[in-house]
Structure 1
Amino acid sequence: MLDIFKDIKKDLQAVEEELARVVQHQNPLLNKTSSHLLNAGGKRLRPAFALLSGKFYNYRLESIMPLAVALELIHMATLVHDDVVDSALTRRGIPTVKSNWGNKISVHTGDLLFGKSLVMISKYEDIPLIAKVLSKTSVKMCEGEIQQISSAYKSKQSIKDYLYRIERKTALLIAASCQLGAVACGAPREIYMPLRRYGYKIGIAFQIIDDILDMIADPKELGKPIGGDLRQGIITLPVIYALRNSPQRERLIKLVENKNKTGAEVHQAIELIRACGAIEYSNAVVDRYVNKAKAELHHLPDIPAKQTLFTIADFVKYRNF
C-alpha cells in the first residue's frame, strides 16, 4: 500500500502527525483511547484520496490538511462505534477500544473523534460545499448502519438492498474524500465530479471485497476471524447470490437466519456459499465497478496522480486484507 502512495508519502506522513496532535486530549483516559485507536494503524485511504484529488488543481497541503484529518477522524469514529455494536474484540489483530475499556468509554471516544472532525471542517467557512457534503454523508452513513441492524438475519434481501447499505456504510465517504480534496484546492466541477464518481465506484468495490474476504481470507492477514458477518446476521453479496443459487438453499437459509450459530455452523455456511460460485460472482461485480471507476478517470488531466488512482483501483480489486 505504501508503494501506491509513494508520490504523496511525505504529505501522508504529515497528515499522520497532525492526526496524532489532534487526537490528544487533556483527559488522560480519552487521550489514551484515542491514541490507541490511531496507533492501531489503518490504510489511511480516505486522507490519501483527498491528497491525490487535490493534485488535479492548485495543490497545497495546507489547504487539504484539515479535510484529510477530518475524513480519517470520521472513519475512526465509525470504527470504534461499530466495534461496540458488533462486540468486536480485535481489529487488524489488535484489541479494540471496546475490548480494553468497555462500551461506555468506546462510545464517548467515538463521539469525541467525530466532534473533533467537526472542528477541522469548521476551518472551511469560505468553502461551504465541504461542510454540506460531509454533513449529508454522515447522516447517510448512520442510515446505512441502522438499515444493517434492522435487516440482520433476514434472508430475503435483494442486491438493491445490499447496495443501499454499502453505499451508505462505505462508498459515500470515499466518494466525498475524492471529491473534496479537489474542492479544497478550488477545483471546478468538471474536475471534482469525475473524482467523486470514481470514489463512489471504488467505495462500492472496496466493500464488496471486504465482504468476500470475510469468507475466504487468511484470518492472520485479515486481523480477525472470518465469518464475522454471518455471525452478526449481515447479509452480504456472496450470501445473497448463494441464497438464490445454492443447491442446498433451504439448509443455507436456516444457517443464515440462526442467531445462535456455532463456529461449525458458520464454517458450514461459508462452505455452501463458496461451493455455488458466489465468490466468483461477487468478484465479477467488483470487476464491473472497478472498470467503471477507471472510466471516470479519462475525464481528468494526465498527471501522475491519475496513474496512482488507476493503480489504487487495481489494489482494491486484488487486495487480500
Structure 2
Amino acid sequence: MQPLAFVQLVQTELEQVEDLLAAQADGYHQDLQAALRHLLQAGGKRLRPVVALLMGRLLTAPIDRLIILAAALEMLHTATLVHDDLIDGALLRRGIPTLNARWSPAATVLTGDFLFARAAKLATDTGSLHVMDLFTRTLAVIVDGEIRQLFEGGAYTTLEQYERRIYAKTASMFELATAAAASLAGYPPDHGPYETARRYGYHIGMAFQIIDDILDYVGDSRHVGKPVGNDLRNGLITLPALYYLEEHPDDPDLRFVLEEGNLFDEARLQALVERIRSSGAIARAAEQARAHVAQALAALEALPASPEREALAELARYVTERTF
C-alpha cells in the first residue's frame, strides 16, 4: 500500500461519518451550525475515525455502530482542538482561522462545550455502556493533562513526565478508538483481542505525538501549520529537547526556557533549534517513535490476517514517515 492508501478500505464508511458529523448542529442555533461547518471544512487526517473503522472491521464489529463511534471520536477530537486553540491563543489551524480568531472567548468556550455534548450523544448512540464509560474516562485524562500543563508548566525534565503528557494529549484518544472498536465487536476488557487492540492504539498514539514534536524542529512550517520552534517559544520541552538536555545540561538558552517558561528572543530561539537539530536528539526521538510503532505492529500479529490488519500496519508505518 502507498501512504494513505489504508483509508481506501473504509472510504465508504468515512463518507457516512462526514455526513453524520455535518448533521450534529441541525436544529440548533445558526451560529453553532456555521461554526461546525467551519471546523469540518478545515479538514484533517481523520486518523482516529480511520483507526476505529479499520480495527472494528478487523474484529467484525457492526458497521452501523462503528460509523457512529467514528463520528463520536472525531467530534470529541474537534471539541478538544477548539478549547486548545483558545487556551493557546492560536489564531490559525491548518492555515485556517480558529474559532477564537473570529469569536469572543465566551462564544468559543460554549461552542466547544456544545461539541463535547454532541460527542457524548454520539457515544451514547453506539448503544454500549462500556463505550460511554471509555469516552468519559478519556476526556477526564485529556483535561487532567491540560490542567497539569497549565499549573505545572511545560518545562518537563524527565521522560516519565513527557510520556504522561503525550499520553493525555494524544495517545489516550487513539487508545479510545481501538478499545471502543473492540468493545463494539463484543470483546470485554479482559479478553485478548480487546487488550491487543488497546495496545495498538496506545503505541501509534505515542508515536504520532513524538513525530509531531520532532516536526516542530524539522518540519516545514507551511505544512505543519505553526512556526518552527513553537514549542520552545512557549516553554514546552518535548522529547528532542529532553534528549538534548541530557547531553547539554548547561546550554544557556535551554536553561532559560526551563527557568522562564518561554523564549521569545527569535535569534536565540532559532540558534537553540539549530543546536538541537545538529545534535543526535532528533534521531534518538525518531528511534523512540519507531520503537512504539514496532510494538504496535507486534500487537497486530495476534489478530487475524486480513486487508484491515495490513491497512492498520501501513497506518502505523505512516505515522513515523509523515512530514505534517
Interval containing the TM-score (normalised by the shorter chain): over 0.9
Deviation track 1:201-247 (CA, whole Å, cap 9, x = no partner) reads: 11000000000001110011112222221122111111111122137
**Matched-pair contact (CA < 8 Å) for 2:232–2:263:** no
**Aligned match of 2:186:** 186
**Change beyond 3 A, Cα 1:23–1:316:** farther
Looking at structure 2, the residues matched to 262 and 81 of structure 1 have their Cα atoms a distance apart, in angstroms, of 27
- Once the two structures are TM-superposed, the CA of residue 248 in structure 1 deviates from its matched residue by 5.6
Aligned pair 1:225/2:227, yes or no?
yes
Question: How many residues are treated as equivalent by the alignment?
Answer: 319
> What's 1:55 paired with?
57
Match of 2:31 in 1: 29
Q: Over residues 100-158 of structure 1, what are the superposed CA-to-partner deviations in whole Å (9 max), with x where a residue is unaligned? A: 21322211111110001111112244x2211111111110111111122233253x620
Say whether the 8 Å CA contact 1:50–1:178 is kept in structure 2.
yes
* Aligned position for 1:270: 273
TM-score for the superposition, normalised by structure 1: 0.94
The aligned residue for residue 85 of structure 1 is 87
Q: CA deviation at 1:42?
A: 0.7
The separation in 2 between residues aligned to 1:236 and 1:85, in whole angstroms, is 19
For structure 1, which segment, 293-302 or 222-231, has the greater mean C-alpha deviation from structure 2 after superposition? 222-231
State which drifts further: 245-254 or 207-216. 245-254
Letter aligned with residue 287 of structure 2? A
Q: Distance in 1 between matches of 2:304 and 2:267?
A: 52
SS of the residue corresponding to residue 301 of structure 1 reads coil
For the aligned residue pairs, the C-alpha RMSD in angstroms reads 1.7
- Is the alpha carbon distance of 1:276 and 1:81 closer, same or farther for their aligned partners in structure 2, counting shifts above 3 Å? same
Classify the secondary structure of the residue corresponding to 2:227. Answer: coil
**2:44 corresponds to:** 42
Percent of aligned positions that are identical? 38
Contiguous gaps of at least 5 residues in structure 1: none
> 2:145 is matched by which residue type in structure 1?
G
Moved more, 309-318 or 20-29: 20-29
Q: Residue 66 of structure 2: which of 60, 64, 85 is its match?
A: 64
Whether 1:308 and 2:311 are equivalent positions in the alignment is yes
Q: 1:245 to 1:151 in 2, by over 3 A?
A: farther
Please say if residues 94 and 223 of structure 1, whose CA atoms lie closer than 8 Å, have aligned partners that are also in contact. no
Q: CA deviation at 1:54?
A: 1.1
Letter in 1 for 2:138: T
Separation in 2 of the partners of 1:141 and 1:247?
A: 30
Give the conservation status (yes or no) of the 8 Å contact 1:205–1:289.
yes
Name the structure 2 match of 1:76: 78
* 62-71 vs 291-300, which moves further: 62-71
Distance change in 2, residues 1:270/1:15 (3 Å): same
Which ranges of structure 2 fall in alignment gaps of 5 or more residues?
Answer: none
Aligned-partner residue type, residue 137 of structure 1: T
C-alpha separation in 2, matches of 1:6 and 1:86:
34
Contact 2:57 2:63 in 1 (8 A): no
Out of 293, 307, 310, the position equivalent to 2:296 is: 293
Change (3 A) 1:124 1:248: same
CA contact (8 A) 2:235 2:257 kept: no
Correspondence for 1:8 among 6, 10, 33: 10
Question: Please, which moves more after superposition, 57-66 or 9-18?
Answer: 57-66
- Seen in structure 2, the aligned counterparts of structure 1 residues 243 and 66 have a Cα distance that, compared at 3 Å, is same
Pairing 1:142–2:143 present: yes
CA distance in 2, matches of 1:66, 1:315: 25
Q: Which runs of 4+ in 1 moved over 4 A?
A: none
Distance 2:263 2:295 in 1: 39
| CA-to-aligned-CA distance 1:292-318 (integer Å, 9 cap, x gap) | 111000110011100001101110011
**C-alpha distance 18-124 of structure 1, shift in aligned 2 (>3 A):** closer
Partner amino acid, structure 2, of 1:149: L
Deviations 1:5-53 (A, max 9, x none): 1111111111111111114452111211121111101111111111111
Q: Which amino acid aligns with 2:285?
A: S
Are the structure 2 counterparts of residues 255 and 139 from structure 1 closer, same or farther at C-alpha, using a change threshold of 3 Å?
closer
Which of these residues, 252, 261, 264, is aligned with residue 264 of structure 2? 261
- Is 1:95 matched up with 2:97? yes
Residue identity opposite 1:141 in structure 2: I
Q: Distance in 1 between matches of 2:238 and 2:106?
A: 29
Preserved CA contact (<8 Å) 2:62 2:184: no
What is the match of residue 108 of structure 1?
A: 110
The AA in structure 1 aligned to 2:289 is: V
